[in-house]
Amino acid sequence: TFKVKHLMIASVTGQFKQFDGSLVAEKDDFTDAKVNFEADVNSITTGNEQRDGHLKSDDFFAADKFPKLTFLSTDIQKLSDEKYNLTGNLTIRDVTKTVILDVTYGGQIVDPWGQTKLGFEVEGKINRKDFNLTWSATTETGGIVVSDEVKLHMNIELAKQA
């Protein structure tokens, strides 16, 4: 999910309904992990069809030209048993920038069907304008319609593969 201030008085939360990702690691502590993620920009939803259409337009994601956003990890640093910094290249539109995400490892468990599941929570912030999401407008009182800072939040459950 993502969250951005709207009209500087409230936050709008959105998500991408279609996405795929993986984590590949040989070590149990994930210090050699390679993470990749991609989302279908056309699956964006904020609960408002008109706003979603605007987000897909050239003012923001330009979904017809850039249908995917991607993240490819370049480094992971273990800070404690549960905390990591995940560094990677985030590509939105035609811009790729390095971002650092905070990761909390929730642990692993075998589910009732015998599959090993791992849980993670990932958080970070980006400046939307760094990725050419530059549309802006002001209110009658001079306030900004959409803030530049976008908060990212992901709850991830992975199934361990042999």
Query: pLDDT tens digits for 108-126?
Result: 999 999 999 999 999 999 9
Answer for the pair 14, 1: CB distance below 8 angstroms, yes or no: yes
The torsion region of residue 39 among left (phi > 0), alpha (psi -120 to 50) and beta comes to beta
pLDDT of 27-79, one tens digit each? 989 999 999 999 999 999 999 999 899 999 998 999 999 999 999 999 999 99
Q: Which residue has the tokens 């549309």?
A: 135
The torsion region of residue 71 among left (phi > 0), alpha (psi -120 to 50) and beta comes to beta
Q: Domain residue spans in the chain?
A: 2-159
Domain 2-159 class in CATH:
mainly beta
